[in-house]
Structure 1
Amino acid sequence: MNTAPLSALPVEAEDAHIAIEPSILYFGTPVVLLTTENENGSFNLAPMSSAWALGSTVVLGLGREGQSAQNLCDRPDLVVNLPAPALWPAVERLAPLTGRNPVPPGKPEDCRFESDKFTAAGLRAAPSRTVRPPRVAECPLQFEARAERVRPDVSGECVIVEAVVLKVHADPAIVVPGTDHVDPAAWSPLVYNFRHYFGLGPELGHSYRTRTPRTPATAI
């Protein structure tokens, strides 16, 4: 119980917010193209936007009935491909496609089965080094990984995948020369913001924890 005198309590700021009930909560997260292995040895390519990294682990949120989730329950190898903003049309070409046949009942009405998603999206497969699923050649940043834990979320409608990154591939154009650092001034992920696509704007500043070398052009 707060026993401080009223004069000592902080003054509440006027709240100009309004309460809303949005249909989705994609508040601005990077788009991922996920490659996984199908039961017959072919490969699935799927766009998703619920992904974040913690150390060398990438956490993914996937629909339970999708082909990616089904694949990772039985075959844990995957590649997390990160497209640049210019690739958004290819991502959108993938959006109404599914690797499951017949189409799961929970998918949108305009969703259709497609066995060769690379061709449908106009993308090229590149061989991986440590896992079977291929990389997406056009993506500037690619993480070969292995799913170590796949579990349902609290709603039961999705699965949460914890994948350990085994190898990182990067376009030389986004790497600080002579280092293993991605140059944040050269790399812009494709961001999914309430079902609209965006890239990053100009740099506003940097964390005190950054280890990326600062060039004269970017030094503060």
Structure 2
Amino acid sequence: MHRVVPLKVHYYGTPVVLVSSTNPDGTTNLAPMSSAWWLGQNAMVGLAAASRTTQNLLRTGEAVLNLASSDLVDHVDRLALLTGTPELSPHKRETGYRYEPRKFEAAGLTREPSDLVAPDRVAECPIQLECRVSGSYPISEDDRVFAHAIHVEVLRSHVHDSVRLPRTDYVDPQAWDPLIMKFCDFFGEGRPIAPSRLAAGWQMPGRLEEQASA
């Protein structure tokens, strides 16, 4: 039987992307994101309007989309409640965010210089996409812009040999195991692997929590 349910989020299962962007002081900000879709050499990413990442992308027109594999789940989760914005909104304070300008160090990840854009890449991510912002679309609710859908064009793709089909320019779909965010729980190889810190901050019940307490 279907029931009418006022869902708080619509995360049905999308790959986790670590977005690198350039702060006003020239340093690289790093933020996890799981609202993206792809078409050809283009991607559309959904980001909160007030986030430092959104402001950086709209200001500089550049980004690196670092696709995280499932074995990076602990590193990604360390970034979940960190923000590169010094002034926390009431919502972020209530959710449990804290200001952290050194995101790479906090997550235990390694910087790697990009070729065509300013933000650093994440060395541990098997797939890294240097991108240029092509456009943006504000998303409003109750006459307030709360997010932006940002269109980026992929300029250069970096693919680690471990996930590349030998002697080809293709990703091996059996070797590539993306970290998936599904309703605030992390999945890899189709199996649950860890709850996200966002689940607690957003008061989202998850089966992983239930299994851990059983």
Deviations 1:133-180 (A, max 9, x none): 011000011100011112311432101100000000111011111110
1:148 counterpart (134, 140, 146): 134
Match of 1:197 in 2: 186
In structure 1, what is the Cα distance between the partners aligned to 2:61 and 2:137? 13
Q: Does 1:122 align with 2:108?
A: yes
Match of 1:106 in 2: 91
User: Which structure's CA Rg is the greater one?
Assistant: 1
Deviations 1:11-69 (A, max 9, x none): xxxxx222222221111111110000001111100001001111111100000000001
2:121 counterpart (135, 144, 161): 135
How many residues align structurally? 187
Gap runs ≥5 in structure 1: 1-15, 203-220
Could you tell me the percent identity over the aligned residues? 42
Secondary structure in structure 1 of the residue aligned to 2:137:
strand
Gap runs ≥5 in structure 2: 192-214
Which residue identity lines up with residue 91 of structure 1 in the other structure?
Answer: V
Match of 1:31 in 2: 16
Match of 2:153 in 1: 164
Match of 1:206 in 2: none
Matches within 5 A, 1:26-105: 26-105=11-90
Secondary structure in structure 2 of the residue aligned to 1:119:
helix
Q: Tell me, yes or no, if the aligned pair for 1:66 and 1:104 is still in contact at 8 Å.
A: no
CA 1:74–1:134 in structure 2 vs 1: closer, same or farther (change >3 Å)? same
In structure 1, what is the Cα distance between the partners aligned to 2:69 and 2:7? 27
* Cα RMSD for the two superposed structures: 1.3
In structure 1, what is the Cα distance between the partners aligned to 2:25 and 2:78? 24
Q: Tell me, yes or no, if the aligned pair for 1:98 and 1:114 is still in contact at 8 Å.
A: yes
Match of 1:217 in 2: none
Q: Does 1:17 align with 2:5?
A: no
Q: What TM-score, normalized by structure 2, do the two folds share?
A: 0.84
